[in-house]
Amino acid sequence: MIKETLKALFVDNCTLQEAADKLGIKQSDIRDRLLMLQHMGYVQEICNNSSPKSSACCSCTAASSCSGNNDISGSKAYQLTEKGEKICRNK
């Protein structure tokens, strides 16, 4: 489950909905998995803007006009950690 989710989101670069469809689960389940993967240290939230207006994705060019939605469905950006990269490389 971990490897398949990481590969769908970070190797295949699928959106949450595309990853859910590919894995045969609901989009809410992908969100839950992403949070779990973050907690386990496979992914980390990233931010490239020093002063985001909201909890929205800091690197998004529209962050300043964002409504401040805390939903994980696209309002945040994540990247693989070294731990996550290792699991994706293993066959």
With bands split at pLDDT 50, 70 and 90, how would you rate the model's confidence at 32?
very high
Q: Per-residue pLDDT tens for 43-80?
A: 998 874 544 444 455 555 655 555 444 444 446 788 99
pLDDT at 1: 87
> In this structure, which amino acid lies at residue 1?
M
Return the structure tokens found at 52: 């985001």
* Alpha-carbon gap, residue 53 to 43, rounded angstroms: 23
Over its C-alpha atoms, the chain yields an Rg (Å, rounded) of: 13
The CATH number of the domain covering residues in 2-89: 1.10.10
87 CB burial (10 A radius; 0-12, 13-18, 19+): middle
Taking the whole predicted model, whether its pTM rises above 0.85 is answered as no
